[in-house]
C-alpha cells in the first residue's frame, strides 16, 4: 500500500514539473544547508551533487568557476535541502528554484528512522531524490524562460510619434512627476510581455516584463537583471552588483 501511494505521488510530481525543469541547463549546489552546522556536513552536499548528476543534470558547487556555456544565472536552477521536524524520524525534502527565487520543483519528504545522523540523512535525502529521478530530466535546448527568450529576440520598434500615442496604448498609465532633460526621458513601448523603454534615438535602454504587481516589473538593462519599482510615484531600477543593492532613478513616460 505504501509503495503504491509513493508511486502515485512520484507520478503526480513528475507530471507537474517535468516540463519546467527541462528548461534549465544545470543546477547550483550550495556548500552548506541551513539545518547543518558546517559545510558539506555528513557529505550531504556531495550526495546532492552526485544525485543531480545521476538524474541527468549538470551540477556545480556555488564556489566553482562555472563554464561560459552556463554563465547566464537564469539558465540555472538552485537547489536547497530542507529539514522538517519529526519525532524520532528524520525528514528531508529538496527544492529547485529559478534565479528569481521561484520554486520550480519541490520533492515529497524523504524519511528515515535511523538513529545515526550520517545514515539517517543519507537515507532521507536519497528517498527525496526519487521524485526527481522520476522526471527523467533532459535539457530541451530552449531558453530558460519566456523572459529570457524575448530579451534575445525582440527587435527595436520605431519610437512613437508623440508621447500621447504611447500613453493611449496602455490601459493603466502611470504619471511620473519629475522634471528632467529630454535626453534622460524614456518612452515605454508595449511588447508581448511588458514594455521596452527607449530614448529619443530611438534606442532600447531597458526591457521590463510584467509581474502580478503592476508597480513592479522584472527589468534588464545592459545585461544587468533586476526590478523596476514604483515608489512614491517615481520609478527605480534596482539590482545587485558585487552583493550590493543598487538603485537608479528612471524617468519614463508610460
pLDDT per position as a tens digit, 148-158? 455 444 434 44
DSSP-based three-state secondary structure for 251: coil
Residue 229 backbone phi and psi in degrees, to 5: -115, 145
Backbone angles phi, psi at 31, to 5 degrees: -85, -20
DSSP state of 141: S
Query: CATH 3.40.50 spans which residues of the chain?
Result: 2-133
CA 198 to chain centre: 26
Model confidence over 57-91: pLDDT tens digits? 999 999 988 888 887 888 899 999 999 998 899 99
- Work out whether strand 110-112 and strand 90-97 pair parallel, antiparallel, or are unpaired: antiparallel
- The residues, any chain, with a CB within 8 Å of residue 103's CB and separated by 6 or more, are 95, 96, 97
Pairwise CA distance, residues 215 & 207, whole Å? 15
- Residue 52: DSSP 8-state: H
Mean pLDDT of the chain: 79
Q: What is the dihedral angle through the alpha carbons of 181, 154, 73, 140, rounded to the nearest 10 degrees?
A: 170
CATH 3.40.50 fits 2-133, yes or no: yes
- Tens-digit pLDDT string for the chain (254 aa): 444 444 444 444 444 444 479 989 899 999 999 999 999 999 999 999 999 999 999 999 999 888 888 878 888 999 999 999 988 999 999 999 988 888 899 999 999 999 999 999 999 999 999 999 999 999 987 644 444 455 444 434 444 444 444 444 344 444 333 333 344 788 888 887 888 898 877 788 999 988 888 889 999 998 888 999 998 889 999 998 888 889 999 999 88
Amino acid at each position: 500500500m505504501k509503495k503504491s501511494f509513493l508511486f502515485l505521488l512520484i507520478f503526480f510530481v513528475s507530471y507537474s514539473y517535468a516540463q519546467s525543469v527541462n528548461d534549465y541547463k544545470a543546477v547550483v549546489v550550495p556548500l552548506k544547508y541551513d539545518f547543518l552546522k558546517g559545510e558539506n556536513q555528513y557529505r550531504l552536499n556531495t550526495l546532492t551533487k552526485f544525485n543531480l548528476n545521476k538524474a541527468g543534470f549538470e551540477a556545480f558547487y556555488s564556489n566553482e568557476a562555472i563554464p561560459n556555456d552556463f554563465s547566464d544565472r537564469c539558465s540555472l536552477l538552485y537547489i536547497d535541502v530542507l529539514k522538517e521536524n519529526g519525532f524520532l524520524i528524520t525528514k528531508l525534502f529538496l527544492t529547485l528554484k529559478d534565479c528569481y527565487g521561484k520554486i520550480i520543483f519541490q520533492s515529497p519528504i524523504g524519511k528515515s528512522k535511523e538513529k545515526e545522523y550520517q545514515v539517517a540523512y543519507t537515507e532521507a535525502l536519497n528517498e527525496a531524490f526519487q521524485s526527481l529521478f522520476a522526471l527523467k530530466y533532459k535539457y530541451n535546448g530552449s531558453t530558460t524562460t519566456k523572459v529570457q527568450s524575448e530579451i534575445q529576440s525582440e527587435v527595436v520598434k520605431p519610437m512613437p510619434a508623440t508621447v500621447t500615442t504611447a500613453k493611449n496604448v496602455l490601459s493603466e498609465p502611470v504619471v511620473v512627476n519629475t522634471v528632467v532633460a529630454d535626453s534622460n526621458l524614456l518612452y515605454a513601448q508595449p511588447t508581448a510581455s511588458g514594455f521596452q523603454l527607449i530614448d529619443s534615438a530611438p534606442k532600447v535602454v531597458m526591457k521590463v516584463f510584467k509581474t502580478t504587481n503592476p508597480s513592479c516589473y522584472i527589468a534588464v538593462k545592459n545585461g544587468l537583471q533586476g526590478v523596476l519599482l514604483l515608489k512614491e510615484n517615481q520609478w527605480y531600477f534596482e539590482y545587485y552588483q558585487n552583493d550590493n543593492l543598487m538603485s537608479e532613478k528612471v524617468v519614463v513616460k508610460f
